[in-house]
Amino acid sequence: MDRIRIIGGHPLQGTIPISGAKNATLPLMIASLLTQDTLVLENVPRLADVRLLQHILGNHGVDIMIGGKRPGESTHDGQTLHLSAGRIVDTTAPYDLVSRMRASFWVIGPLLARMGEAKVSMPGGCAIGTRPVDLLLMVLERLGAEIATDSGYVLARAPKGLRGGSIVFPKVTVGGTHTALMAASLANGTTVIDNAAREPEIVDVADCLNKMGARISGAGTSRIVIDGVPRLSGARHRVLPDRIETGTYAMAVAMTGGNVLLENTRADLLQAALDVLTTAGAVVAETNTGVRISRNGHGIAPVTVTTAPFPGFPTDLQAQLMALTSRAQGTSRITETIFENRFMHVQELVRLGARIHLDGETATIEGVEKLKGAPVMATDLRASVSLVIAALAAEGETMVHRVYHLDRGFERLEDKLVACGAEIERISG
Ligand code: EPU
């Protein structure tokens, strides 16, 4: 298994290109199941989760072609995927595939809407919490589907097609909102979603569906209205920048010091996180091409933050913020309200010298003057990258184990950091 070795203490200087968003790419790829025409996605990041979803969609009969390079493009640009679901050959998503990536459960919406049936394995728990699918099933029922569960599988049927309905989410859910958008686009009649997720990735998926001929309004607000259409067509769509990758590198710069331009991204995608970074002492400036982050010689100020659905502070940046605050000049408090078990990084950060006390959903972080390198490992994507950030600012060598988690969501992480002066290398085997 690969490891990553980091020698800390180098401020980051230079430019980091931000990739297309993983959490938009996955539902956009799944949306290709809704049409027999070709959906072309540009700016797709090269990630393990994207490759796995290609495999899963292939199983349903989606042909996927990866576009060749165009003049002026480098291998660092995102890839272009051509996805064609001319004929769905299998409406079952088996356990061995769904259990490897939760988002693959979302195929249930398009399969049901287009084929009138779907059999999808229940995803099961994962390192950051129990993560049930009850609200996704509620969506399908509200649209007229019959739902049964059998031997770990969800069986969804709508032999006469789905019909529009009213969906009121008792809590904000990204996956539930994606499922509602995709299924209702092909339903007969109008669907109204209340308390919809407002994440930028929802807006991106709605934009793409509208290019495919869907009639969705209100994406990005809590109320989304969808007028169903009988069929969708192909489209070409560019995936929006990854706000979590942007925020992660912003925290790395805030932690190590230095001055980095995060290129091809937008501040409005993560304003709440950038506001917290400013409070912590970083200088944030939006430019024509991206967001510039720098930190002067002063220390990091402590912060109090609670994670919340967009536009609040994202749970996907909570671990990285904890790494940053571990060296603040004072005591910070971080409360996690989205996932009940998303503190797996705490014990590993403590191994690097952080002082963190956990009480229920709140972590109290007493800033220390320095962290010291150590061997560490983590159990999920964002936790792993928080260890990388901490290691970049720690004294001496840190070895991060189980880096396959990082490969799920961060494209060319070591290359991007090395180009800014970090001492980081991958050790294979
Ligand atoms: N929930 C339910 N029932 C459901 C669905 C969700 O109770 O049927 C709960 C969840 O357990 C959680 C809350 O609702 O407590 C919000 O979960 P949500 O459905 O919004 O999360 P998700 O769609 O499963 C996506 C991202 C996550 C990100 C969350 C929150 C993708 C592929 N995943 O997950 O990203 O943390 O939204 O913003 O978009 C990551 O990239 O590392 C990651 C975990």
Place of tokens 């230079």: 14
pLDDT of residue 75: 63
Closest ligand 1 atom number to CA of residue 128: 44
Two tokens, residue 87: 């004929």
HSE value, Cβ hemisphere, 13 Å, CA-based, for 414? 14
One-character DSSP codes across 165-229: -EEE-SS--HHHHHHHHHHHHTSBSEEEEES----HHHHHHHHHHHHTT-EEE-BTBSEEEEE--
What's the pTM? Answer: 0.97
26 lines ligand 1 (CB under 6 A): yes
Tens digit of each residue's pLDDT, the chain (429 residues): 899 999 999 999 999 999 999 999 999 999 999 999 999 999 999 999 999 999 999 999 999 999 877 777 766 689 999 999 999 999 999 999 999 999 999 999 999 999 999 999 998 766 766 789 999 999 999 999 999 999 999 999 999 999 999 999 999 999 999 999 999 999 999 999 999 999 999 999 999 999 999 999 999 999 999 999 999 999 999 999 999 999 999 999 999 999 999 999 999 999 999 999 999 999 999 999 999 999 976 899 999 999 999 999 999 999 999 999 999 999 999 999 999 889 999 999 999 999 999 999 999 999 999 999 999 997 889 999 999 999 999 999 999 998 989 999 999 999 999 999 999 999 997
338 lines ligand 1 (CB under 6 A): yes
Q: Which of 23, 104, 335, 343 to mutate for ligand 1's pocket (most ligand atoms within 8 Å of CB)?
A: 23
Closest ligand 1 atom number to CA of residue 137: 8
Ligand 1 centre distance from Cα of residue 197 (Å): 10
Ligand 1 centre distance from Cα of residue 171 (Å): 11
Among protein residues, the one whose CA lies closest to atom 10 of ligand 1: 131
Q: Which of 131, 140, 181, 307 to mutate for ligand 1's pocket (most ligand atoms within 8 Å of CB)?
A: 131
Among protein residues, the one whose CA lies closest to atom 32 of ligand 1: 23
Closest ligand 1 atom number to CA of residue 316: 36
Give the C-alpha separation, 45 to 39, whole Å. Answer: 16
Ligand 1 centre distance from Cα of residue 339 (Å): 8
Ligand 1 centre distance from Cα of residue 315 (Å): 9
Ligand 1 centre distance from Cα of residue 424 (Å): 31
Two tokens, residue 214: 């869907």
Ligand 1 centre distance from Cα of residue 414 (Å): 27
Two tokens, residue 404: 């396959």
pLDDT of residue 262: 98
pLDDT of residue 298: 81
pLDDT of residue 94: 95
> Which class for 2: exposed (0-12), middle (13-18), buried (19 or more C-beta within 10 A)?
middle
Among 126, 229, 283, 301, the one annotated catalytic: 126
Give the C-alpha separation, 186 to 421, whole Å. Answer: 50
Closest ligand 1 atom number to CA of residue 174: 20
Two tokens, residue 153: 């599988």
Does residue 126 have an active-site annotation? yes
170 lines ligand 1 (CB under 6 A): no
200 lines ligand 1 (CB under 6 A): no
Two tokens, residue 410: 């961060």
